[in-house]
Structure 1
């Protein structure tokens, strides 16, 4: 088990907190896009060009932040491998997979005709990413408990 001091120096707690904050911002941007931005239905190739040049700055910020969240989750995965904690590694794998699901389905939603199943899977991946990042926060900041038993009954 990695001591708390060692885990604090490798950057894992700060990366998890940064990811948690970015996920919160991602949620706010996604809700804004869902409520106030109308995305025209067109061919996927037209959408790629129109999205970068045609007035979707919030969508582009949302996509950039999603890529940044994906990169941070990869960094968390590598740092959790180095931690040697199986529960931290399992949570980091779940976090990475849920971010991957949310990102892929977000791209499919935007470039494949805005199917409701893609929106649902993107939201599910996001909720799971929030859950796994919260679990990682709990595991990373959990103090090492070592209960000492007294064997002397005198």
Structure 2
């Protein structure tokens, strides 16, 4: 039995689906980065008191539509990262699964950092820094996955 051909057929479709999802994720991350930088540079966030904390958050969400788009896009990015993780986990490639888990955890960390930044009244910049670190680790993890897939495709001769 030709083990290499069997493995190539089994890994071909998940690899292609994983690559396409990673490329979608890169596109979404670029949009997320641009919206985040736009808000950082140009958005004016209203001030809110501590007595009506949740009302203050609703006021911020409705007065800064970029923030609402940024948060919804972040949720979508998180869901796509879970899809990428499950594609590689179901294919049985544990190295790619581990890297995609790192990317998913980085996205989750960036999202929690963003929520904490918002809850701090947009004043505690350590949470903004945490968002940027999550972004960087995600990009590095997904770029590593693409490199590993392309190098294994070159070794096996898969187009």
RMSD over equivalenced CA pairs, Å: 1.9
Write the distance in 2 (CA, Å) between the matches of 1:30 and 1:64. 12
How big is the shift at 1:27? 0.6
Q: Assess if the C-alpha contact under 8 Å between 1:66 and 1:103 holds in 2.
A: yes
Relative contact order: is structure 1 or structure 2 higher (C-alpha 8 Å, sep ≥ 6)?
1
1:145 aligns with 2:155: yes
1:31 aligns with 2:37: yes
* Alignment partner, residue 109 of structure 2: 101
If each structure's helix is expressed as a fraction of its own residues, which one has the higher value? Answer: 2
How big is the shift at 1:144? 5.4
Q: Give CA deviations for 1:34-93 in whole Å, capped at 9, x if unaligned.
A: 00002233244133211333x211111111110000000111111110121222111101
User: Of 70, 81, 92, which aligns to 2:78?
Assistant: 70
- Scaled by the length of structure 1, the TM-score of the pair is 0.84
User: Of 12, 28, 47, which aligns to 1:5?
Assistant: 12
SS of equivalent to 1:141? helix
Write the distance in 1 (CA, Å) between the matches of 2:34 and 2:18. 25
**Cα separation, partners in 2 of 1:51 and 1:30, compared to 1, 3 Å:** same
Structure 2 residue ranges without an equivalent (≥5)? none
Q: Give CA deviations for 1:109-136 in whole Å, capped at 9, x if unaligned.
A: 0122221111111111111111112112
Structure 1 residue ranges without an equivalent (≥5)? 147-154
For this pair of structures, how many residues does the alignment match?
Answer: 144
SS of equivalent to 1:39? coil
User: Of 20, 45, 61, which aligns to 1:14?
Assistant: 20
